[in-house]
Amino acid sequence: MELFTNQVLAGISTGAIYACMALAVVMIYQAIDHLNFAQGEMAMFSTFISWQLMQWGVPYWGAFVLTLVLSFIGGIAIERLLFKPLAKAPILTNVAGFIALYSIVNSVAGLIWDFTIKQYPTPFGSYPFLGSQLISTHQAGMIGVTILLLIGLFFFFRFTRMGLAMRAAASLPESARLVGINTSWMIALGWGMAAAIGSIAGMMIAPVVFLEPNMMLGVLIYGFAAAVLGGLTSPLGAVIGGFLVGIMENLAGTYIPGAGNELKLPIALALIIVVLVVKPAGLLGRPIVKRV
């Protein structure tokens, strides 16, 4: 029983990171109908920036906030320079854009900071949380930060004018323009927020997976899985999907004989495919109806 609780809690803490990545992916998908394959690399790059800031002597939380701001600006810049010009281009052109972004960010990070693995600090320490062996303080911290982020986003989208405008632009761009919303800037803002959310995921997971240019590859696959599982059209679904994927991954690794660390990813993904066969739009997603 203790093993079970332990695995579920560990699943929730990595699930929190998948939830953040899924949320970032959904945010951009809502805005431009494309999956951002480079979301993980953007998060990795942000994490390196925070690391560099700390190397220069900036304290942890100062570096954290500064990285959030820089990532937000960087996300907007990427949209303005690369994806705004591609807005009317065919799907494959956009896919090529994402792949280009992926490899550019990855190589530039390698060029600046090289490919050796680096230690990354945690502000929460790694002690037993509240004296319990079930979960560490860093894991508890990851869950806490994610929950704060989700509450903040909820209030932003529910109760602010900007949040309302962003939702309107994502759901019906033409109607949004007809009430005076600059939908093009809402898309850029979505990119900025997605980049900032991704940077939180990167900074939180870095102490666990260590810092290196390929650190987010696995995390992003789980994040995609979470987004698809929850429904690409539903931010809440993406978050729930993130936690579910985290839990499934850990339970599969522990309880399915012979699965171990190697097979837990395919098993978790197989479970998700089963869900999608039954419910193609994901757990909370709307069926996707394309306008013509």
Partner 1 sequence: MTAMLNVRDLRAYYGQVQALHGMAFDLSEGSMTTLLGANGAGKTTTLRAICNMVRSTGTIEFEGAPLIGRPTESIVRLGIAHVPQGRGTFTTMTVEENLQLGAITRTDRAGVVSDIERMYDHFPVLKDRYTQQAGTLSGGEQQMLAVARALMLRPRLMLLDEPSFGLAPLIVRDLFKILGKINREDKVTILVVEQNAQLALELADKAYVIETGRIVMSGSASEIANNEDVRKSYLGY
Q: Are 71 and 196 in contact (CB under 8 A)?
A: yes
Regarding 159 and contact with partner 1 (CB under 8 A), the answer is no
Rounded CA-CA distance 219/16 in Å is 11
Choose, by CB under 8 A, the member of 50, 106, 183, 250 that binds partner 1.
183
Q: Which of 108, 181, 259, 281 binds partner 1 (CB under 8 A)?
A: 181
| Among positions 2, 88, 119, 174, the unique one binding partner 1 when judged by CB under 8 A | 174
Output 36 or 234, the one with its CB closest to partner 1: 234
Q: Does 177 participate in binding partner 1 (rule CB under 8 A)? A: yes
Q: Look at the block and give the residue holding tokens 């761009």.
A: 173
> Tokens in use for 228?
């698809």
Contact 83, 203 (CB under 8 A): no
Q: 122 with 138: CB under 8 angstroms?
A: yes
- Closest distance to partner 1 from the beta carbon of 168 (Å): 5
Cα separation, 88 vs 184, in Å, equals: 12
- Residue 175 binds to partner 1 (criterion: CB under 8 A): yes
- Give the nearest distance from C-beta 183 to partner 1 in angstroms: 7
Cβ atoms of residues 110 and 48 within 8 Å: no
Q: Binding to partner 1 by residue 2, rule CB under 8 A?
A: no
The 125-154 contact track toward partner 1, x by CB under 8 A, reads ------------------------------
Q: Is 179 in the site for partner 1 (CB under 8 A)?
A: yes
Q: What are the φ/ψ torsions at residue 118 (nearest 5 degrees)? A: -120, 145
CB atoms within 10 A of CB 93: 10
Q: Does 30 bind partner 1 (CB under 8 A)?
A: no
Closest separation between CB of residue 288 and partner 1, Å? 13
Q: How far is the CB of 242 from partner 1 (least distance, A)?
A: 22
Tell me the C-alpha to C-alpha distance, in Å, between residue 125 and each of 43, 70, 121, 163: 22, 26, 8, 35
Q: How far is the CB of 182 from partner 1 (least distance, A)?
A: 5
**Count of chain residues binding partner 1 (CB under 8 A):** 18
Whose Cβ is closer to partner 1: residue 61's or residue 159's?
159
Strands (E), the chain: 128-129, 132-136
3-state class (DSSP) for residue 36: coil
| Residues in touch with partner 1 (CB under 8 A) | 161, 164-165, 167-168, 171-172, 174-183, 286
